[in-house]
Structure 1
Amino acid sequence: MPVRLKKLVGMILLVALVVIYALVATAIATARLGESSWIVHLAYFFFTGLLWVLPAMWIIKWMATAPKPRD
């Protein structure tokens, strides 16, 4: 896959990941944490705020790999 196309696909995937992840994390927090204390909210949003980095790192690593040379 050409580098420019790979970066375009990766950028679209990253934007989609952030939007979908934020919506899902907020929906779960709204449904499950409504009556919880502030410390539970803080811990939940701290961990979910860091958790999206793992798939984002994989996408960025995939984008940064050099294309295989054609023989």
Structure 2
Amino acid sequence: MTSPARRFAGSLILVVWVVVWIFFATAIGDVVVASKSGWVQFGYFVVAGLAWVAPAAVLVRWMYRPVDRRDE
């Protein structure tokens, strides 16, 4: 896959991933965590708000990896 194609595909995947992550994190927070104390809610949303970064970092690393000429 060429570098521009990889970046385009990765960008689309990243946008979809973040939207899906927001939906599920908010739904879980609303159903499970809403009845808990304020500190539990705060902790959940801090973790949920930052946990998407690790998979996104792997994807971005793949997007900007040098193209191996054997793959083309």
Place the TM-score, normalised by the shorter chain, in its bin. over 0.9
Give aligned pairs, total.
70
CA RMSD of aligned residues (A): 0.8
Aligned-partner Cα distance in 1 for 2:28–2:38: 16
User: Gaps (5+ residues) in structure 1?
Assistant: none
Instruction: Tell me the TM-score normalized by structure 1.
Output: 0.93
Counterpart mapping for 1:1-71 below 5 A: 1-70=1-70
How far off its partner does 1:25 sit? 0.4
Aligned-partner Cα distance in 2 for 1:47–1:40: 11
Aligned-partner Cα distance in 2 for 1:34–1:44: 10
User: Gaps (5+ residues) in structure 2?
Assistant: none
Instruction: Tell me the TM-score normalized by structure 2.
Output: 0.92
Deviation sequence 1:10-68 (CA, Å, 0-9, x none): 00011011100000000111110121111111000001111000110010000010111
Aligned-partner Cα distance in 1 for 2:3–2:56: 18
